Chains A and B, each alone.
Chain A
């Protein structure tokens, strides 16, 4: 099966200059990955490993310094591909002055949902994410969980083929985590491709078909679900033996 997402030696180097001094920081380096259509793919790594950089490259928010990032056969950044992508960020960054309905309607327009079906599509998706009763309140009045639901709605409103989720369960309560898990499994059952980043290993092992572990912006390993399925704690062991801290902090020494 042809890969729907491909990173080919993708490298992102950030250049920061302050008072004439230039500092280079590696986001990701020579990352090569393939994600198949209909697959749930997890990107694991510690903080600063390059997970968010990878996701931003897939969305065209960052441009690769070297190498190539391809989504649905198109080299990113490419606007036409964004119609096929739904993005669920770690924290929902939605304009707090809008109501939930207004926000979803705006994202529907941005995603070129036809005007004939837009109103119904917005109503349906708000119903599906359980926000129809609170849809006309301003987002500034919402709880974190409610904002996350609106974020889900904006990611799904245009029925995308690919869902990109950046730390989708970080900061959520156990019930909300369960709901996100259900959403991912439902998307998989619909034949959608899900690309998610996380450092919550127990959740990743419940939903992912394959995972990649990033360390210091480099690919450390790729593992398939058959390697950890049914063996509790196996993925955690794989992760802890593979991932290495690249920040200049040592490990805790209380043992």
Chain B
């Protein structure tokens, strides 16, 4: 357990002190600030604009950050050879993978909370009244980040370069927003090869429809309790599978 905690600790420190990570935070601050300017275009919907643009901005920047950081998480340590020193100590390879992943998520979640705090400050100054839906949609965004991070980590270990891993993750991220369309196309396709290919892609790509809490909120609806259950179960299963596969790939890797 000490080994796992040590890896989590140094991963969090590494991210917090990294300029790239800080520039993501700064960029998000600019984006939330610009929501204020954009909102003046729709005077009657100003609060709604700040709320939507801000939340979408936090999620988008966090997704960009998690893809960029997670893809390079192990690859950079391999390039700088710092992984030699870590793995020459008695630490299980799965502990290293899990520690790097959890450390990255912790740092990113802390950044998301910080960005949300800044966003909420602007909202409150504009007269917005607290709604628990804000917290639930933030948690849904965090789950989404966790899922895409685990996929990025797996792809970084199964492809040969960070560029290809980033491209594949980005591609699957886009496809993840069209899960029901992919399923529809697979069902309607007459070609069995196409059917199989679409089905495979649909299974691999994360199904982001599980995380659309903001759609419920905007429609002034409350999702049924089962929705929360399915979202949690899907998140745990997807991340668990991706981390298991990553650990398996990493345990076979030589340095």
Contacts and interface: CB of A to CB of B under 8 A. Distances in A.
B178 interface: no
A89 interface: yes
Given A62-B254, A62-B255, A89 B2 contact: no
Q: Which among B2, B3, B18, B88 has the greatest number of chain A C-beta atoms within 10 A?
A: B88
Interface in B63-108: 80-92
Given A79-B92, A110-B3, A97 B17 contact: yes
Interface residues of A, number: 31
Interface of B: 2-3, 5-7, 9-10, 13-14, 17-18, 80-92, 254-255
Contacts of A59: 84, 87-88
Contacts of B81: 89, 91, 93
B85 A98 contact: no
Contacts of B254: 56, 61-63
Given A61-B84, A93-B82, A98 B255 contact: no
Given A79-B90, A79-B92, A80-B90, A109 B85 contact: no
**Binding site of B, secondary structure by majority: helix, strand, loop or mixed?**
helix
Q: What 8 pairs across the A-B complex have the smallest Cβ distances?
A: A110-B89, A109-B6, A93-B81, A87-B88, A82-B90, A93-B82, A97-B17, A61-B255
Interface in A207-226: none
17 contacts: A59-B87, A85-B88, A87-B85, A89-B81, A89-B84, A92-B85, A93-B80, A97-B14, A98-B10, A106-B10, A107-B85, A109-B2, A110-B3, A110-B7, A110-B90, A115-B2, A154-B85
A60 B83 CA distance: 13
A109 B86 CA distance: 11
Contacts of B88: 59-61, 82, 85, 87
